[in-house]
Structure 1
Amino acid sequence: MKEVDLEGKPEETQPPYHVLARSLLYPGSHTLRFPVPDEKVPWEVDFPLYDPPAYSADHKDMAVQDPFSPNPMGRTGLQGRGRLHCFGPNHALHPVVTRWRRNLDGSIIRKSLKKMLEVLVAQYPLSDVWSLPGGSLEPGETLPLKLKWILRREFWPQFQTLLKQGTEIHKGYLDDPRNTDNAWVETVAVSVHFDNQNNVEMKRLNSFLQGCDPELCIRWQVLDKRIPLHANHKDLLHKVSTLLGAYY
């Protein structure tokens, strides 16, 4: 897997501290976080009034780690495990699968002189938001359960090969609304780009997608800053656009 340094490019417009991890209402609950202003996020900054509530949703087969591991990016306004599976880092994998957006004659569509991309996105049952086809990694697993749900079993090995040939665009902490002071998401995001519309693996992928679970919505979506996706996933798309020199 190739690695590329994208630091200082998409992040230039991003705030210095996690934002989604301080969303006042914790997702999937009625729990409100203790408000944390930007300047009080770092643990090194004294915050004597800080008194966050604790919240941990029920999970079966919970892999408990040190419950006192501090979030490496600072305060979130909530203690406990939240909706995450374990204390400390919760590992994830997010493939960013792209192709060029093309006209009917096969020519690549451009906007502001830059080539336009399409990205593979999914909408899971009980969710009204589109997301990248990845997610949490169970211990010992190499592909997220959500990704396996999308791909037919016979295509799993080929997709793992595509990931190895892809370019790593992010590794580490991910600003996520489920993060707490004691549990957080760390992900590896990999760019898998099909440069040629006649690519055999892309045609095979498309054929498998047509036969995936009928409860699952999956599609190729035009990639730009207005894309209806989770905010932290849009940060990953910005990195891919920068990597490929594409419009965003």
Structure 2
Amino acid sequence: LGSGEEDKAGGMKPPYHVLARNLLYPGSRTVRFPVPDEKVPWELTCSLPARNPMGRTGLRGRGSLHCFGPNHALHPVVTRWRRNSDGSIIRKSLKKMLEVLVARYPLSDVWALPGGSLEPGEMLPLKLKWILRREFWPQFQNLLKQGTEIHKGYLDDPRNTDNAWVETVAISMHFDDHNDVEMKRMNSFLQGCDPELCIRWQVLDKRMPLHANQKELLRKVSALLGSYF
């Protein structure tokens, strides 16, 4: 981030790493080396096997990620309009309200978008396969192709290190009609393979208990659809 680079409001842009510089690495007792904002950019003299394209995070190695360098992920953002019992769309602050499909996976206390890490050669993340019955996987891939890409590239993630990071493709999949045949069919195939897995349509707003990086994806979907956030 170059000095003097400003956003539209006239203030300085936030540093690239926010979550990725949390001192305590998730799921462990490993503590990052504190990296102030001005020390995030790489120096030309550094020589590492793979370098985070956004700069230093305070922790070398690959952490809990699968490989050095980019770790690819897919995040479908599946939405529909929030409606009254008579089918009319509910509004707040004059803007239409959305509902988004979220899941709470075993051993987790927060809700999340139904996506995640992609294994090499796989078209759908394992976490997405957990919530969909196998016979619907091909149809879901077709729905993804019809969706709108809202983000592609680096994702600020608490697992990111100096040498390993998450890159994701986020796709908006919106059902405009509450009688949409494909949406009803998808609902009928929502079935977790674990009894502790919870799936639901959640009202979309910025107070949702999701990870900060996923809230940013929801903000982009809201901007795309002109909905309340």
TM-score normalized by structure 1?
0.85
Distance of 1:68 and 1:216 partners within structure 2: 38
Which residue number in structure 2 is paired with residue 231 of structure 1?
Answer: 212
Offset at residue 208 of structure 1 (A): 1.3
1:90 aligns with 2:76: no
Write the deviation string for residues 34-63 of structure 1: whole angstroms up to 9, x where unpaired: 01111211114999xxxxxxxxxxxxxxxx
TM alignment of 1:200-239, pairs within 5 A: 200-209=181-190, 211-213=191-193, 214-239=195-220
Distance 1:153 1:37, change over 3 A: same
Consecutive unaligned residues in structure 2, runs of 5 or more? 1-6
Decide whether the 8 Å contact of 1:99 with 1:118 is kept in 2: yes
Write the deviation string for residues 194-247 of structure 1: whole angstroms up to 9, x where unpaired: 0000001100111111x3332210110110010110110000000000000000
Distance of 1:75 and 1:81 partners within structure 2: 13
Q: Which residue of 185, 195, 198 corresponds with 2:176?
A: 195
TM alignment of 1:44-55, pairs within 5 A: 44=43
Letter matched to residue 28 of structure 1: G
Q: Could you say what secondary structure the match of 1:86 adopts?
A: coil
Write the deviation string for residues 175-194 of structure 1: whole angstroms up to 9, x where unpaired: 00000000000000000000
Aligned-residue sequence identity (percent) comes to 83
Q: Could you say what secondary structure the match of 2:29 adopts?
A: coil
Distance of 2:226 and 2:12 partners within structure 1: 18
Which residue number in structure 2 is paired with residue 37 of structure 1?
Answer: 36
Which residue number in structure 2 is paired with residue 145 of structure 1?
Answer: 126
Letter matched to residue 192 of structure 2: C
Which residue number in structure 2 is paired with residue 123 of structure 1?
Answer: 104
Q: Could you say what secondary structure the match of 2:217 adopts?
A: helix
Distance of 2:13 and 2:102 partners within structure 1: 23
Letter matched to residue 18 of structure 1: H
Q: Could you say what secondary structure the match of 1:172 adopts?
A: strand
Which residue number in structure 2 is paired with residue 165 of structure 1?
Answer: 146
Offset at residue 16 of structure 1 (A): 3.4
Which residue number in structure 2 is paired with residue 101 of structure 1?
Answer: 82
Distance of 2:85 and 2:34 partners within structure 1: 51
Letter matched to residue 241 of structure 1: S
Decide whether the 8 Å contact of 1:21 with 1:76 is kept in 2: yes
Decide whether the 8 Å contact of 1:40 with 1:46 is kept in 2: no
Letter matched to residue 32 of structure 2: R
Which residue number in structure 1 is paired with residue 115 of structure 2?
Answer: 134
Distance of 2:184 and 2:169 partners within structure 1: 25
Distance of 2:109 and 2:181 partners within structure 1: 32
Consecutive unaligned residues in structure 1, runs of 5 or more? 1-7, 48-66
Distance of 1:125 and 1:179 partners within structure 2: 22
Distance 1:13 1:39, change over 3 A: closer
Instruction: Please provide the CA RMSD for this pair.
Output: 2.0
Distance of 2:13 and 2:180 partners within structure 1: 35
Offset at residue 14 of structure 1 (A): 6.7
Distance of 1:14 and 1:207 partners within structure 2: 44
Which residue number in structure 2 is paired with residue 184 of structure 1?
Answer: 165
